Amino acid sequence: MNSQILGLLFGFVIIFVSIGSSNQTGVMYFNYLSIVIVLGGTISASILTFGLKELKIVFSTLTKIFFRPVQEFKQVILEFIEISKKKNQGRTYTEILQGSYHPFTTDGLRLLENDLSLEQISSIMEISLVERKNYFLHQIEIVRTLAKYPPAFGMIGTVIGLVAVLEGLGTSTEITSIGPNMAIALITTLYGLFLSNVFFIPLSDNLLHRLNHSNRMRKMIIRGILLIKDDQDSVYIQEVLNAHQLPGSRENYILSKEGLD
């Protein structure tokens, strides 16, 4: 199971266990009016702020967190060893491009196929790296902005519930109305805090972690493409790319079965 899905499920389990240990029936924690206030308010504020098109892109990005695993450095290093060996065998870049590689590696091979210089390839790939980073930083900022809305609407629900409680004081129905109105007041706050702290904030931090990991990998790929362009042998390419990893993660792939043809 994907670790992000496991983390989200664990968050729900913690809440449900806490509810079950509160000596109260769990039904009292489910209030449709509180859900409407928090969820509906968050959706309306999000649409007002970013628009449907932008939100669609953001939630598509968030979906990938749960279904697209983070690629390992080892896999990319093995790809470059394979590319180096294919080039030494006399294969053209057009033939090499028929293989399955990291998308950024494929972009670099296409630049090699077009016979661009080292400086041109480095410049183009660096621009691509920076623009991609800026794009995802914008997505992360949107998710972090969305995290502010559920607690805010939870407080709105709290105020609505408290106003209803105060309005009912002094009437013949005050005893029967205080409980339900206070439930709305407190449960909306609970929903808002849960949605923000179990969903939006962790996912935005996860996106930032993935972005940092991806940037490190793409810098390594740029170095690998330039080494291929410079006709370096596979052993040297392996050691240079290995330098992008922590010492405990470095391996001699060429001497292992994984690095053999």
191, part of any domain: yes
CA atoms of 39 and 191, how far apart (whole Å): 9
Q: Please identify every stretch of the chain with a pLDDT value under 50, giving residue numbers as ranges.
A: 257, 260-261
60 close to 205: Cβ distance less than 8 angstroms: no
Q: Are 223 and 126 in contact (CB under 8 A)?
A: no
Residue 7 domain-assigned? no
| Per-residue model confidence (pLDDT) at position 257 | 46
Residues 158 and 54: their CA atoms lie apart, in Å, by 30
Query: Mind listing the pLDDT tens digit for each residue in 215-246?
Result: 999 999 999 999 999 989 889 999 999 988 88
In a domain, 3, yes or no: no
pTM over 0.75: yes
Task: Give CA separation, 105 vs 39, 41, 164, in Å.
Answer: 41, 43, 61
129 part of a folded domain: yes
Domain hosting 226: range is 31-259
Domain assignment of residue 171, yes or no: yes
Tell me what pLDDT residue 24 has.
59
pLDDT in tens, 40-74: 999 999 999 999 999 999 999 888 888 887 888 88
